[in-house]
Amino acid sequence: MDSGRRSRSGSRDRDSRRRHKKHRHKRRSRTRSRSRSYERNGTAGIHINPAFGLPPGTVQPQPMGYSASQLLQTNNMLEAEIHRLKAALNAAQGGQQIEAQRCQMLQQELRNAQIQRDQANKRCNEIMSERRMMNDSKVEMANRINGLEVANRMLRDDVTQARNATEAKEEEIRAITYQSEIVRQQINALNERNAALKTKCETVVAQNRQQHEEMEARQKFVQGAQLNVKKAEADLQLANAEIQRLLRELDSSQQLENSSITDKRNIEEELIRKEDEIRLANYKSATLLKAANDKIEKLELRLKQEKPAVHNEMTVFQETIYIAIETIKTTYEKQLSRMEEEIEHLKAEKLKQEQQQIMMEEEEDAVVQNLEELPAYLKTPMRPDPTKMEGLKKTIQVKIRLDEEPERPARPASGPPVDSPVTWHQRKPFERLPAMVVPLFGTTEAPSTGPGPSISSEDLITSSTIESTSDEISIAACNQFSEEDLLLAEPTDMISPSQLLDLDEQTLLGGE
């Protein structure tokens, strides 16, 4: 195309120069002329095929020289050929222009393809960023699941500690039950012994009542009874001190119960707080999962419209991820449900243990009420104080002494036994009063048995002999029984010292 422009411009310049040049002497040019006139005039220097322009199949005539018509015809043919070549050149130039336009279009399409490739790369980067975000969210969910596992492990540790605490409480309850059984056996043995002592004392009292009906030393007997009253008051004070100690132990047990109730309440509050945290975490994870699912659906729709093959691959990957997430979800839901069932079971066991503890406390209160009616030397602590190890050691020593059989003096022929719970080798006999009869707890009868002198029918004649024999018998009876034997001579199985004093006073008043 550019060559055509140059040729046309060159021909125009040559025409303009030809018109305006002056007529001067023509001389031979060293260069070949490009004008058509030169071509027309200078045909002698051009070799032309004589068969050029002849129709096919004609016989070439014998050359007889070139005529003007032949030259003109040849010139016309050459001009036609030139026109044809120019037309072909123009057509070739038009084809080149079309090819150039096509090349430009291809370049434009290439640029568009590059732009589309950049857009596709951008979309791919966006999709990869979304995928990374999904992976980050997956890692975050895994971290949260690990946090939930840690919380579950901590809760299991708390449950294990609570179970150990309950086992310790059960061990204490078994120890208390064992101690109460020991005390019950001791009480039964003491009741049996008191029943035997009652029968013996009744016989002795009946005998003493017959001897002391006519005695005149009522005032001195009252003085002796005052000593017994002081002794009973001392026993009553000891009993009150024992009751106060038992009340203090009851207060300590109630404080322990209150502390266990507060611990239980704290554990329940902690469980409620953990459940609220788990519920909030589930709600947040569900919200984030819903937003992520919406975003994923939008991206899937867009990817499905633009790249179906990539969408199919992503669908398979998402199905795999969904199956894994559902598996993890079902697993942890089962674990949480199992943990809730264990918590409910622990609550039921704790409630049952509290009920059993309440029943045990009621039984202890009943035993304490029964013990309040016993004398001080018959009372054994129901439950040793854990803070006082000395009391526990003393209780164990008492148990060992009950199981063993120490060497003790022989039991006298009459009267109560000397192996009472009070230390038997520290007995203190009553001080003798000269010419004084001290009856046994207000009785007036003399015993029929004993090492004292016997009374014959002859001695009963005079009152002096009766008084002397009664004095001797009463002194012998006082020598036979110690102070603790007199205290053991109770009219009933369970009687307090105050009731015993009231009975003594009634007996004295009735005798007067």
* CA separation for the pair 245, 248 (Å, rounded): 5
Written as tens digits, the pLDDT of the chain (512 aa) is 455 555 555 555 665 555 555 445 455 555 555 555 544 544 444 555 555 555 555 555 555 556 788 888 888 899 999 999 999 999 988 888 898 898 899 999 999 999 999 999 999 999 999 999 999 999 999 999 999 999 999 999 999 999 999 899 999 998 898 888 898 888 888 888 888 888 888 888 887 777 777 777 677 777 777 888 888 888 888 888 888 888 888 888 888 888 888 888 888 888 888 888 888 888 888 888 888 888 878 877 887 788 788 777 777 777 888 788 888 888 888 888 888 888 888 888 888 888 888 888 887 777 666 555 555 545 554 554 555 544 444 444 444 444 444 454 454 444 444 444 444 444 444 444 444 444 444 444 444 444 444 444 444 344 444 444 445 444 444 444 444 444 444 444 444 555 655 666 666 556 55
Q: Which of 451, 486, 452 is nearest to 470 (CA)?
A: 452
Both structure tokens of 276? 């609220």
Both structure tokens of 156? 């299991």
* CA separation for the pair 448, 455 (Å, rounded): 10
3-class SS letters over 333-364? HHHHHHHHHHHHHHHHHHHHHHHHHHHHHHHH
Residue owning tokens 């001695």: 459
Rg, Å, the chain Cα set: 68
Q: Which of 446, 471, 466, 464 is nearest to 456 (CA)?
A: 466
- Quick one: CA torsion of 89, 90, 93, 98, rounded to 10 degrees? -140
Both structure tokens of 48? 């032309």
With contact defined as beta carbons under 8 Å apart, do 77 and 53 qualify?
yes
Both structure tokens of 406? 């120490």
Task: Write out the H or E segment, with its range, that includes residue 38.
Answer: helix 36-41
Question: What are the residue boundaries of the structural domains of the chain, listed by start?
Answer: 75-113, 140-165+222-376
With contact defined as beta carbons under 8 Å apart, do 415 and 204 qualify?
yes
Q: What is the DSSP string of 423-491?
A: -GGG--PPPP-TT----STT--BPPS-SSSPP--TTTTSSHHHHHHHHHHHHHHHHHHS-HHHHHH--S
* CA separation for the pair 127, 300 (Å, rounded): 10
With contact defined as beta carbons under 8 Å apart, do 134 and 292 qualify?
yes
Which letter does DSSP use for residue 44 in this model? G
With contact defined as beta carbons under 8 Å apart, do 438 and 430 qualify?
yes
Q: Which of 221, 214, 202 is nearest to 447 (CA)?
A: 202
Q: In 10 A of CB 447, how many CB atoms?
A: 24
445 forms bridges with which residues in the sheet?
208
* CA separation for the pair 501, 227 (Å, rounded): 11
* CA separation for the pair 384, 395 (Å, rounded): 8
Q: In 10 A of CB 424, how many CB atoms?
A: 15
Residue owning tokens 């008043």: 509
208 forms bridges with which residues in the sheet?
445
pTM > 0.95: yes or no: no
Q: What is the pLDDT of residue 199?
A: 86
With contact defined as beta carbons under 8 Å apart, do 210 and 470 qualify?
no
Q: Which of 164, 162, 167, 169 is nearest to 361 (CA)?
A: 169
Provide CB contacts within 8 A for 60, sequence distance 6+. 50, 51, 54
With contact defined as beta carbons under 8 Å apart, do 198 and 492 qualify?
yes
* CA separation for the pair 352, 347 (Å, rounded): 9
| Distances from the Cα of 380 to the Cα of 188, 196, 422, angstroms | 13, 21, 12
With contact defined as beta carbons under 8 Å apart, do 440 and 221 qualify?
no
